[in-house]
Amino acid sequence: MLRGFYTAASGMLAQQRTQETLANNIANMNTPGYKADQATLRAFPEMLVQKMESKNVPTTNGTSLPTKHSIGSLHTGVYVQETVPNFTQGDIRETGMQTDLAIVQGNVPDDSGALFFTVQNEAGEERYTRNGNFTVDGEGFLVTNQGYYVLDMAGDLIQTNGMDMTVSPDGMIETAGQVVELGMAYAEEANDFVKEGNGLFNGEAGAIPAGVTFTVKQGALEGSNVNVLQTMTDMMTAYRLFETNQRVLRAYDESMGKAVNEVGKIG
């Protein structure tokens, strides 16, 4: 019976984490470039239950042999193994700001592949983002709204000397009398990326291979790809499953109470 407690409790914890993931998606429904997380559930290792007994052998010594019979498999609950970002394209909306950029993916051969802007975090390390809500800092460098430097294809900072710049559909930035190529990266397995907060991703990405096409749209932003209606439906489903496991846990608790307080009581 104690195993039933653990199974029901693990179900409640899994649904709680799923609910937290969905709530975070809803909270970021208006965040540019946000990619919705999906919680993946996995069952704990399955156990094979067997009945152990002995069989008497008709001998003069009354020998008995141990035997066992398979009863069946037993699952011990589920858990959230990981949360995986969904890298489908978000809606593109016009903003009119010259420093706002949006990646419009064209032909991407592999469904798990995705394109990113390359930026530099506070530790000087390269990271990737789909949030093109850029601006210019006091020194004239192109940065994200969180202050991370936007990089070019050579991995250098982009000096704009002001907000006046022109970005071509292929990612060439013309500003301050010079032309630089916006740092773009392609990840073949974007699902392996890890979110670090503030729209940054950490993972393996490199040069854009042949056959992958894209367009950089200036004066526009990619919205989040959160499907609000589907997310609300999933939240209701997770809540009902949580309540179901809660009722099972309460039933086990009542049964244990009777076993302790009533079974074997002398009248």
Confidence class of residue 158 from pLDDT cuts 50, 70 and 90?
Answer: very high
How much is the pLDDT for 229?
94
Position 84 scores a pLDDT of 87
- Could you say which DSSP state residue 228 is in? H
- pLDDT per residue as tens digits for the range 200-252: 999 999 889 888 999 999 999 999 999 999 999 999 999 999 999 888 888 87
Specify the pTM.
Answer: 0.79
Angle at 199 between CA 193 and CA 205, to 5 degrees: 35
Share of the chain above pLDDT 70, in %: 84
Question: Can you tell me the distance from the alpha carbon of 109 to that of 134, in angstroms, rounded to the nearest whole number?
Answer: 28
Averaged pLDDT, 162-185:
90
pLDDT digits (tens, 9 = 90+) for 47-65: 665 666 666 666 666 666 6
Quick check: 146 pLDDT over 70? yes
- In this predicted structure, the answer to whether residue 178 has a pLDDT above a threshold of 90 is no
Answer for the pair 126, 155: CB distance below 8 angstroms, yes or no. Answer: yes
78: confidence class by pLDDT, cuts 50, 70, 90: confident
Q: Is the pLDDT confidence value at 7 over 90?
A: no
Average pLDDT in the 113-140 region? 93
CA distance 199 to 223: 12
Angle at which helix 2-27 crosses helix 228-261, to 10 degrees, equals: 160
Between 78 and 99, the more confident residue is: 99
Which position has the higher pLDDT, 260 or 91?
A: 91
The helices-and-strands tally (H runs, E runs) of the chain is: 2, 19
